[in-house]
Chain A
Amino acid sequence: MAKNPEHRDLFPGALEIMILQSLRYRPMHGYALVKHIKQVSDNLLQVEEGSLYPALQRMLREGLLESETGISAKGRPTRIFRLTEAGVRHLEQEVVSFEKMFSGITRVLAVARA
């Protein structure tokens, strides 16, 4: 997936949860998403275009997102992605399970350090 070894994909589902969370914050188009994630993460995370677009289509198909015709920041026609009800529910579930996983990992790391 990742062509550039510096920007490895984190783990399965990470891209998805980031997209969902970003779109919950506000609906946006593809390039905006990339920029948004990059900025918010202080350049720590960079989304691969090769993963982003197929992932967006998959989430559209699964009904987590919907798309509508919109205008980009530069005033050109593009497609704006927006979270659906199902998408919100899915995001909340994912966040819960992510948090569990993080706290699990954190505890394991704490023991290893001690």
Chain B
Amino acid sequence: MQILSNLFSRRRRYDDISVSIQEHINERTEELMEDGRSREQAEQTARREFGNVTLIKERSREEWQWAFLESVVADLKLTLRRLKKSPGFAATVLLTLAFGIGANTAVFSVLNSVLLKPLPYPQPEQLVSLHLNAPGAPGLAEFRSELRLSASMFLTFATHNSAFQSVGVWGPGTASITGLAQPEQVDTAQISGGVLETLNVPALRGQWLTAADQDNHSLGRVMLSYGYWQRRFGGDPGVVGRTIQVNSQARVIAGVMPRGFKIVNYDFDLLVPLALDPTHELLAGFAYRGIGRLRPGVDLSQANADIARLLNVWMDSWSNGPGSDPHWYLNWRIAPALQPLKETVVGSIETVLWVVMGTIGVVMLIACTNVANLLLVRADARQQELAVRSALGAGRWRIVRELLSESLTLGLIGGTAGVAVAYAGIRLLTAIGPGDLPRLSEISLDAWSIAFTFILSVLSGLFFGAIPALRYAHSKQRLTALGAARTSSVSRERNRGRNLMVMAQVAMALVLLICAVLMIRTFMAMRNVDPGFSDPPTLQVMRLSIPETLVRDSKSVIRMQNNMLDKLAAIPGVSSTGFAASVPMSGAEPAWDQIIVEGKNNQSDNLPMRLYNYVSPGYFHTAGTRFIAGRDFTWTEIYNIRPIGIVSESLARELWGSPQAAIGKHFREFQTAPWHEVVGVVQDVRENGVDQVAPATVYWPSLMGDPSILEKQDVWRTVYFAIRTPRAGTQAFINEMQKAVWSENSNLPVAEISTMQDIYGDSMARTSFTLVMLAIAGSMALALGIIGIYGVISYTVSQRTREIGIRLALGAQKNELKWMFVRSALLLTGSGVAIGLGTSAALMQLMKSLLFGISPLDPFTYITVPLVLAISAGLASYLPARRAAAVNPVEALRAE
């Protein structure tokens, strides 16, 4: 209020001051006149005695002002007025800044939400994931970085640990929900006791699962996720206590978890108790992911030591059945490698995000350099004005402040516009970002992002403003040189800064372009890898599960699956069908286990782990996986439970030397199992993505066991159906597929309906995301760099018009003149390229983990990119050079 009323009364105060001072001088004048002086003389004396009227007025006024602030406001007004007068300049700079700052803010928001923000659990710093390494577990270690926990491990850790408040294990799964509208397959998280206690997020409705729910003798209750509760129950608050059919079993709903709650990074529909048997678990069964909450004051190394101790307790207290050696696992060299839960959640995306942040940051630097160049040109044009002001008494700081206030204003306006760009950018990023981008739902433009934008705006304003400000702060000495400066050719010193900036730009652009091209080459290399299936867009995939509660015996299950294949094959446009326990890159891994090979030394403790898959006849043909040798299973063999198998090419070569030699050889699952005969060898399949090694795989018939005893037959109940049709992915086809399934049994839910192309694309999402981001950054860098070169050469030409005129008049050849300018541009580019190449070679080592199939020093990239840059630079300088050659000597000289 005080400030406001001050502002209003200020004009009156200023008038008062003027009136007082005027009267002061008048009275003094009259006094002097009374002493006998003339009016003129008297007035002069009075004024001289009084001193500098303007200055005293100003000092008096300042008593009512925030002096510094007001002069800044005055600067700001001046700046805005000047910008309004050159809209072209203002628009160029502001657009450049808006996009530069906006892009940076967008990427920073993602980085901040994913990497920097704490996890959305109470005291997240106490949370760890119970990561175990098993470098001695052959086969497995090559394909997975960690050993998951077995149920017995969890039970040991939970009872005997001293470092944790709570520990828990969980695993993703699926369940069929029937009895509500259409049958539906939902994602479940199977959790042990301790998981909810560890994450410690209270239920939104009802209560957590309790120890009683984990009792393996009864059917425990379940919990809903917020999303599923909204989707299926419309957010009905009375849902707690109701019963739903989960896998055809009635289970009571204990509660609903709040919105956004995930188990680590897994978005579930339903929480189901794991209900482990505390007395009869085996040592083996490494299937679960473990999490724990550390006791206050306990650090990671203490927790690691605790788990290391408990691993011995674990081997001492459990077994794999009579006659097995529990200490055999010493060979696996299992060791704890606990990590903060955040690392597990964030995963490998960290490198990508930092690389993207880095590249966008470099683009910002290039943009700032361009703006600095533009400002230099403007300051050049104002040199005379600045020199005059300096001569009239403006201090160095005053001039610097004015130049800086212009650049800061530009920075801040650009930053404000940048927020809008960032908002759009974030939507774009989350749309094109990899589908498995962790914490996707948490990404937002929050206070941190705004603070980041502000700081970036100010810093970039200072950065591009400092260059002209430093240069023109010394304008005082230049006044005398002013006359000369106008006619002389361009001064070397003045151009040096500009040239350095262009070199820096070229170097930075080169680094970014090399990044981008390396990513493109990586992507192409990945596209060229034979993934082990063909033509993914015409391969329809869906997952279907037949629970035991619906169909009990194995033979009926396989018959039902066979019938469904036939019905699907009868849909118009379908050329073939088949199913498997897992399709490539779906993330479903049926099992990892060892095999015993006939005629080989199987006594070694270090038998490698093989990936198991279970397939139907026709699956390989449908997926387009080639047979290298031998043949497919037949339905007769499946129904008769013939002991046969198919192996992957790499496994055949490893065990028997060649695919052909493998045919007719035998292997089995464990000592008492029947020998299976190899009937076929198929090409390697990139199960975990094209950039991952294809695991050695054993394909079993999907029905196995003892042909004579029904109870001892095992069938794979959750399978992926593969359907080859040009209609894949269309809604009409999906509807017909659903109908075909329901005509077999109307209680069967269909899940994960997608085309193989989607799965394939998802597996490359990280690479294509990085590629798109780097390509955008690279092309922005190239464009900005070219504009920079063009600007500098163009400006040089305009500065040297007179010199060019003289040269022409003296008989210089036009072509030589053009070449002179192009050559100077190429020289700058060349130096920039040299610096850039060195930097790239060093920086690309950091990107190694993102590359596939090419070296970080890929010669093709390192030759073409500089060439492209040099050619673009040549073109960019040719345009102004041609203008130089077109100078009319007479006019050029007359203009002076």
Contact of A53 among B20, B27, B49, B64 (CB under 8 A): B20
Query: Chain B 12-44, CB within 8 Å of chain A: the 1/0 string?
Result: 010011011101101110100000000000000
Complex contacts, B858 vs chain A, CB 8 Å: none
Given A57-B63, A61-B63, A50-B55 contact (CB < 8 Å):
yes
Contact of A31 among B16, B28, B55, B60 (CB under 8 A): B28
Q: Is B809 an interface residue (CB 8 A)?
A: no
Q: Is A72 an interface residue (CB 8 A)?
A: yes
**Segment of A8-16, A73-81, A86-94, A96-104 engaged in the interface with chain B:** A73-81
Q: Are A79 and B19 in contact (CB under 8 A)?
A: yes
Sampled A-B contacts (11; CB under 8 Å): A31-B27, A50-B55, A50-B59, A53-B56, A54-B63, A56-B60, A57-B63, A57-B64, A61-B63, A74-B26, A74-B27
Q: Are A57 and B23 in contact (CB under 8 A)?
A: no
When chains A and B are docked, how far (Å) is the Cα of A69 from the Cα of B405? 40
Q: Are B56 and A57 in contact (CB under 8 A)?
A: no
When chains A and B are docked, how far (Å) is the Cα of A76 from the Cα of B27? 9
Complex contacts, A72 vs chain B, CB 8 Å: 23, 27
Complex contacts, A73 vs chain B, CB 8 Å: 27
Interface residues on B, range: 20 to 34
Chain B, residue nearest A62 (CB)? B63
When chains A and B are docked, how far (Å) is the Cα of A74 from the Cα of B64? 29
When chains A and B are docked, how far (Å) is the Cα of A73 from the Cα of B16? 17
Q: Are B23 and A54 in contact (CB under 8 A)?
A: no
Chain A, residue nearest B14 (CB)? A57
Complex contacts, A76 vs chain B, CB 8 Å: 23, 26
When chains A and B are docked, how far (Å) is the Cα of A77 from the Cα of B17? 12
Q: Are A61 and B64 in contact (CB under 8 A)?
A: yes
Contact of A54 among B13, B16, B59 (CB under 8 A): B59
A52 CB → nearest B CB, Å? 9
8 Å CB interface, A1-21 against B: 3
Chain A, residue nearest B52 (CB)? A50
Q: Are A77 and B19 in contact (CB under 8 A)?
A: yes
Q: Are B56 and A31 in contact (CB under 8 A)?
A: no
Complex contacts, B234 vs chain A, CB 8 Å: none
When chains A and B are docked, how far (Å) is the Cα of A49 from the Cα of B25? 10
8 Å CB interface, B54-105 against A: 55-57, 59-64
Q: Is B50 an interface residue (CB 8 A)?
A: yes
Q: Is A30 an interface residue (CB 8 A)?
A: yes
Q: Is A29 an interface residue (CB 8 A)?
A: yes
Q: Is A58 an interface residue (CB 8 A)?
A: yes
Chain B, residue nearest A80 (CB)? B20
When chains A and B are docked, how far (Å) is the Cα of A61 from the Cα of B10? 11
A14 CB → nearest B CB, Å? 18
Q: Is B483 an interface residue (CB 8 A)?
A: no
Q: Is B51 an interface residue (CB 8 A)?
A: yes
B6 CB → nearest A CB, Å? 9
Complex contacts, B16 vs chain A, CB 8 Å: 67, 79
Chain A, residue nearest B59 (CB)? A54
When chains A and B are docked, how far (Å) is the Cα of A3 from the Cα of B52? 11
Complex contacts, B13 vs chain A, CB 8 Å: 57, 60
Q: Are A30 and B21 in contact (CB under 8 A)?
A: yes
Complex contacts, A29 vs chain B, CB 8 Å: 20, 23-24
Q: Are B23 and A30 in contact (CB under 8 A)?
A: yes
Q: Are A31 and B24 in contact (CB under 8 A)?
A: yes
Chain A, residue nearest B57 (CB)? A53
Q: Are B51 and A78 in contact (CB under 8 A)?
A: no
Chain B, residue nearest A48 (CB)? B51
When chains A and B are docked, how far (Å) is the Cα of A73 from the Cα of B23? 10
Complex contacts, B56 vs chain A, CB 8 Å: 49-50, 53-54
Q: Are A58 and B63 in contact (CB under 8 A)?
A: yes
Contact of B20 among A58, A61, A78 (CB under 8 A): A78
Complex contacts, A48 vs chain B, CB 8 Å: 51
Chain A, residue nearest B58 (CB)? A54
When chains A and B are docked, how far (Å) is the Cα of A31 from the Cα of B19? 12
A109 CB → nearest B CB, Å? 34
Q: Are B50 and A54 in contact (CB under 8 A)?
A: no
Complex contacts, A60 vs chain B, CB 8 Å: 13, 63
Given A31-B28, A67-B16, A79-B16, A53-B23 contact (CB < 8 Å):
no
Q: Are B20 and A79 in contact (CB under 8 A)?
A: yes
When chains A and B are docked, how far (Å) is the Cα of A74 from the Cα of B51? 22
When chains A and B are docked, how far (Å) is the Cα of A21 from the Cα of B492? 66
B57 CB → nearest A CB, Å? 8
When chains A and B are docked, how far (Å) is the Cα of A67 from the Cα of B20? 11
Complex contacts, A30 vs chain B, CB 8 Å: 20-21, 23-24
B230 CB → nearest A CB, Å? 62
Contact of B21 among A3, A53, A58 (CB under 8 A): A53
Complex contacts, B27 vs chain A, CB 8 Å: 31, 72-74
